[in-house]
Amino acid sequence: MIELRISGYGGQGVILCGMTIGRAAALFEDQYSSLSQSFGPEARGSACSAQVIIDKSQILYPYLTGSDILVAMSQEAFRKFSPELRPNGMLVYESELVKPEGLPPTVKAFGIPATRIAEEGLGRSLFLNVIMVGFISAVTGVVKQDNARKAVSQSVPEHTIEKNLKAFDLGYEYGKKHFA
């Protein structure tokens, strides 16, 4: 079983990021996945997270009991959720928005300037979340590249598929180039 938390602030596409990874596992790999969202009454700008559990068998307990993989797209999210990261877990973070501090040395950390890549490569910062999906697939292997790409196509509006797949590829390639 892998427990994964995607976190950031509302408006970054945190839930869609979790939805895409969960969909890749549940629909295109021989696995079960369960996504739950936690959100407050606030919308944009507040801390927001998606919890994804991936397992070979039916998922029973619906919430995370800790995280094997923590994806942090804001410093606030990192501060809030890094204590639940397991000592042998992985941190995936937006390297220009998050400064990881105080982590056990056994945690593997993978940073990507996803917002800048989105702006420079695609002209809009909102592709950050799908860049993260590509990067997560490359560095953690939690879902395979092909399956994650298929899930991206099913998770975004039809007229944006091409750009989102490009975003995915940018994230994936960055991961393979810097952390292979």
Partner 1 sequence: MKADPKGVMTGTHYLDGDHAACEGALAAGCRYVAGYPITPSTEVVERFAGRIPCVGGIFMQMEDEIASSIAIQGAVWAGAKAMTVTSGPGFSLMMEHIGLAIMTEVPCVFINVQRGGPSTGLPTLPAQSDMMQARWGSHGDYEVIALCPNSPQECFDLMITAFNMSERFRTPVMVMMDECVGHMTERVVIPKAEEIEIVPRKYTKKTPAEYKAYLPNDNLVPEMAEMGKGYNFHITGLTHDEKGYPAMNEESQKKLVSRLINKIQNYKKEIILIEKDGLDNADVAVLSYGITSRVAEKAIIDAKAKGIKVGKARLKTVWPFADEFILELSKKVKAIVVPELNAGQVVREVERAAKGNCEVISVPHLGGGVHRPEVILDAIVKGAQGGKR
Interface residues with partner 1 (CB under 8 A) are 19, 22-23, 26-27, 32-41, 59-63, 154
Q: Which is nearer to partner 1, 34 or 115 (CB)?
A: 34
Q: Give least dist CB 46 to partner 1, A.
A: 12
* DSSP H or E run through 121: helix 114-122
Rg over alpha carbons for the chain, rounded to the nearest Å, is 15
What minimum distance in Å lies between the beta carbon of 101 and partner 1? Answer: 29
Closest CA to 5 of 29, 21, 27: 21
Min separation Cβ 59 and partner 1, Å: 8
Q: Which is nearer to partner 1, 14 or 97 (CB)?
A: 14
Element (H, E) at 176: helix 161-179
Q: What is the DSSP letter of 44?
A: T
> Given the complex with partner 1, which of 21 and 92 has the nearer CB atom?
21
CB of residue 36 to partner 1, shortest distance in Å: 5
CB nearer partner 1, residue 38 or residue 75: 38
CB 99 within 8 A of CB 91: no
Can you read off the two tokens belonging to residue 23? 């969909």
What end-to-end distance do the CA atoms of the chain give, in Å?
A: 24
